[in-house]
Amino acid sequence: MEEKKKNKSKLPIFYHVLKALGVILIIVGIVVGAVSGWNFDLIIVYMLCFFFGMVCLIIGFTPEMSKMAIKTQRHILEETKEDLKDIADTQADVSKGAVKTVAGAVKDGLEEEKMFCKHCGKEIDKDSKFCQYCGKEQ
Ligand SMILES: [Zn+2]
């Protein structure tokens, strides 16, 4: 498990070589250009050095760029997650309020149909003339 992690974080030597090669090529290009006083006859030499140096650097930094892209995506997901949670919470609150209103209305509706016996205090139907528990008149 630990070895697997090590291998994963270890970049292939190929990328390090490319990065070094890119830096060297660009330095060589600058040196050649500067020494020749940016001689137009040598433009092909230092331009090629810059070009291939840049290509090497771009390829050499591909893993880092991929990692950055993944990091960016993860960051966006994290941000979105918060927003989605907010939306879900808001929806839950709205639903909760609606459910409360409905439940309250149902409860009120049920309560309207009920009353308490004057004698024994038990809950009985509102319209009943006699208590169904103690039998006394209301
Ligand atoms: Zn009663």
Global confidence as pTM: 0.48
17: its two tokens? 């070589």
pLDDT of residue 121: 92
CA torsion sign for 106, 108, 113, 118 is: positive
Distance 35 CA to ligand 1 centre (A): 114
Q: What is the CA radius of gyration of the chain?
A: 40
Q: From ligand 1's centre to the CA of 109, what distance in Å?
A: 22
Beta-bridged to residue 125, according to DSSP, are: 114
32 neighbors 46 (Cβ within 8 angstroms): yes
The rounded Å distance from CA 79 to ligand 1 centre is 62
Instruction: Enumerate the β-bridge partners of residue 124.
Output: 115
pLDDT digits 0-9 by tens, 123-135: 888 888 999 999 9
